[in-house]
Structure 1
Amino acid sequence: MSHKSLFSRALSAAPDRLHFAAHSHHLWPDASFEAQQQTWLDANRHADHKWDLVFGQVVPQAQAHVAAELNLPSPDSVVFSSNTHDFLLRLFSGVAHKPVRILSTDGEFHSFRRQADRWEEVGAAVVTRVPLAPFDTFGDRFLAEAARGGHDWIVISQVFFRTGGLFDRIADLAALARPEGPWVLIDGYHGFMATPTDLSAVADRVFYVAGGYKYAMAGEGACFLHAPPGFCPRPVVTGWFAEFGDLSGPPGGVQYRSDGGRFWGATFDCSALYRFNAVREMLDQQELDTAGVAGHARDLARRFQAAVQGGDAGVLAEADILNPVEGDGPRARFLALRHPQAQVWCAALRGAGVVADVRDDVMRFGFGLYQDPQDVDRLIAACADL
């Protein structure tokens, strides 16, 4: 079944383009365009009282959507910001002593990678990075390091952005988390709405951060944090929105909300939350859930993978598929192909109107609702011409 009609504006904006970077800048559905317009109308209709509407309706709706997607016990644990980097800073600030002892990997996204490097430069952090390779032993190696103790903060991706490898030991990691440390942060950006994710069993022990730029199809600005109760109750980096609601704190001191709202920042552009809510409502109307969308993407990825492995996609047969489609279990929504010529191939495809992306020697092809089997066949033909 084709779902292209849901993306008519985005597809008509560049009708000759083949966009296979749904894992990067996911195209926006028509519903998000209408939501963007509604943001403007509401802002000007309500003017000074806009925030009553935003915090009375828009934010609670977005919290409920996130909680439903992740099977969280309460939507009150969810707080929003314009990017995930904000939450890294607020969590880091809440560790009482410096340097902060961090356990992570050598495969985290740039927001954390760059910031962690800089914290180390100034002596604010000591970071232990467990290598992802070889990935078949990674889970055991990472958990062994975590169990050794001595860490204040553990940061790891649910799905690794470069290779598409999936970390499926979150429950084991959560068992180590304590309010006094270590705190566990799961970077779910390549997991949220990419593959079904149930945090109900660990929601009281792990932080989870993600956003709308990719598989939630809402664009920039709709990032969120799930914060377990009792962990990091008083982040030092804090915004004035965190002082509204059910407050706690020392007499005469700075008061914080007692739910996830303790991580609120300050004034922000709320249009992304309008878009996120509209996309979720669109999916509900179409009777599409994450499992269904992931299944559609998996079928497309499997079709492309078969062509690559069978030699029908030309020189791509020489590449290593780092995260091949195997069965119907949870997985990344992209295929990662490693080859020394990845940069050259990606540039050549872009010149032919095909959008994929590349990280060092790894080329990534992402799949989503706005593609169909005919698009994959056109992709295969373009690859065969390389």
Structure 2
Amino acid sequence: MSRKDLFSRALSAAPGRLHFAAHSHHLWPDAGFEGQVQAWEDAARHADRKWDHIFGEVIPEAQAHVARELGLPDPNTITFSSNTHDFLLRIFSGVERSPVRILSTDGEFHSFRRQAQRWEEAGQAVVDRVPLEPFATFAHRFLEAARAGGHDWIVVSHVFFRTGQAFEALDQLANLARPEGPWVLIDGYHGFMARPTDLSAIADRVFYTAGVYKYAMSGEGGCFLHAPDGFCPRPVATGWFAEFGDLAGPPGGVGHRTDGGRFWGATFDVSALYRFNAARWALDAEGLTTPRISAHADALAIAFQKAVHDGKAGRLIEADILNPVTPGESARARFLALRHPEAGSWQKALMASNVVTDVRDDVIRFGFGLYQNAEDLDGLIRACAAL
């Protein structure tokens, strides 16, 4: 079910390239170009009244797309920003205790990893980190640490960015969340539109953050936060966009919106939301749901995994596949993560052959998507065999 026709601009821009990093910088569909042009045209057409149009039409449409994808009952719990780091700062600012007691893992993405370390250095946080390995026991160990109590904030990835392994006990973790603490934040960056995700049963208790950079195919600048009602009602780090709407707060004090808009920041480039809306239009028009796209990506990943096991991909047979594909499994990344001491040199050699993958420490990652077909996969296998 390869749909190269939807990516003609990106593919024709580098016709000799084999791009197997759909989990990293996903190629943009042609619809993204149309969305970008629409953003410019709307700015020219509406001029000083542009933000009325953006908050009246563009943002509500993007909120609706996210809510449908995640099974969220109310699109108004969703706020957008240029990056997820903004949301980390705003949630952290709302904890009325110092130092903030945080439970997390040793496998979180750099935006949280670095910030958490800096909070610790400054004496603003105490962070307990549960090791991912051995992953077979991770969920049990993490839940055990969460149930032990004593934390204000629990932060964990749905799908871990480095290894592609998934944390599936979201409902059990959500049962521990309370408005007075702990708050639970799910980092869904490698889950959103990569795997079917239904938050309807836990939306009233967990924060969820992700973005449109990867599997939503819409580039940087379009991150979002789902914020449950009653949790962190008055973040200290607050932007002026949060002044508009149904406000609550002390008399004469700073008011905050009562929906997810309490986490709004300030002026930002909304062109990513135009690209996202346009990409969703295109996918919807073609009936390309997340399960259908995932099935295509899984078929490619399974074929590549078999080639690795059979020795057809050369030295990759020496690597440890951290997240092997199991047919029908839904809770996993849309990439294969292979660990080997020479992962970095393999990635560089493939790049020199115009085959794009990426590497995290000693893990090389191969991402699969709509714009790849069996012929592309054969090219990847040949390139790997030549390492």
TM norm structure 1: 1.00
Q: Does 1:97 align with 2:63?
A: no
Deviations 1:113-146 (A, max 9, x none): 0000000001000000000000000000000000
What is the CA distance between 1:260 and its match in structure 2?
Answer: 0.2
1:383 corresponds to: 384
2:230 corresponding residue in structure 1: 230
Q: Residue 221 of structure 2 contacts residue 269 of structure 2 at CA under 8 Å; is this kept in 1?
A: yes
What is the root-mean-square deviation of aligned Cα atoms in Å? 0.5
- The residue identity in structure 1 corresponding to 2:342 is Q
1:178 Cα deviation from its structure 2 partner: 0.2
Deviations along 1:148-180, whole A, 9 cap, x unmatched? 000000000000000000000000000000000
1:213 corresponds to which letter in structure 2? Answer: Y
| Whole-Å separation in 2 of the counterparts to 1:156 and 1:224 | 16
Contact 2:195–2:294, Cα closer than 8 Å, also in 1: yes
For the residue of structure 1 that corresponds to 2:120, the secondary structure is helix
AA partner of residue 168 (structure 2)? D
Q: How does 1:1-386 map to 2 (within 5 A)?
A: 1-330=1-330, 331-386=332-387
Unaligned residue ranges in structure 2 (runs of 5+): none
Distance 1:252 1:183 in 2: 28
Alpha-carbon contact 2:188-2:210 (below 8 Å) kept: yes
Letter of the 1:28 counterpart: W
SS of residue in 1 equivalent to 2:329: coil
SS in 2 for 1:102: strand
Q: CA deviation at 1:327?
A: 2.1
Identity %: 73
Whichever residue aligns with residue 366 of structure 1, its letter is G
Partner-residue secondary structure (3-state), 1:242: helix
User: Take 2:98 and 2:15, find their aligned partners in 1: how far apart are those partners?
Assistant: 53
- State the distance in 2 between where 1:218 and 1:251 align: 42
Contact 2:2 2:296 in 1 (8 A): no
**Whole-angstrom CA distance in 1 between matches of 2:102 and 2:15:** 46
The CA deviation at 1:373 is: 1.2
Aligned AA (1:131): P
1:268 is paired with a residue whose SS is coil
> How big is each residue's C-alpha offset from its partner over 1:39-88, in whole Å with a ceiling of 9 and x where there is no partner?
00100111000001000000000000000000001001000000000000
Letter in 1 for 2:103: L
Give the distance between the partners of 1:184 and 1:294, measured in 2 at CA.
27
The superposition leaves residues 303-348 of structure 1 with CA deviations (integer Å, 9 ceiling, x where unpaired) of: 1000000000000011000000012111210000000110111110
Aligned-residue offset at 1:2 = 2.4
Gaps of 5+ in 1: none
Structure-1 separation of matches of 2:304 and 2:91: 40
Deviation string, structure 1 residues 227-255 (Cα, Å, up to 9, x no partner) = 00000000000000001011111111100
Letter of the structure 2 residue corresponding to residue 358 of structure 1: V
TM-score by length of 2: 0.99
In structure 1, the residue corresponding to 2:203 is in which secondary structure? coil
- Structure 2 CA distance for aligned equivalents of residues 327 and 274 of structure 1: 35
Distance 2:191 2:78 in 1: 17
Aligned length: 386
Query: Where do 4+ consecutive residues of structure 1 move more than 3 Å?
Result: none
Which SS does the other structure have where 1:156 is aligned?
A: strand
Distance 2:327 2:276 in 1: 30
Q: SS state of the match for residue 276, structure 2?
A: helix
Q: Distance in 2 between matches of 1:366 and 1:258?
A: 39
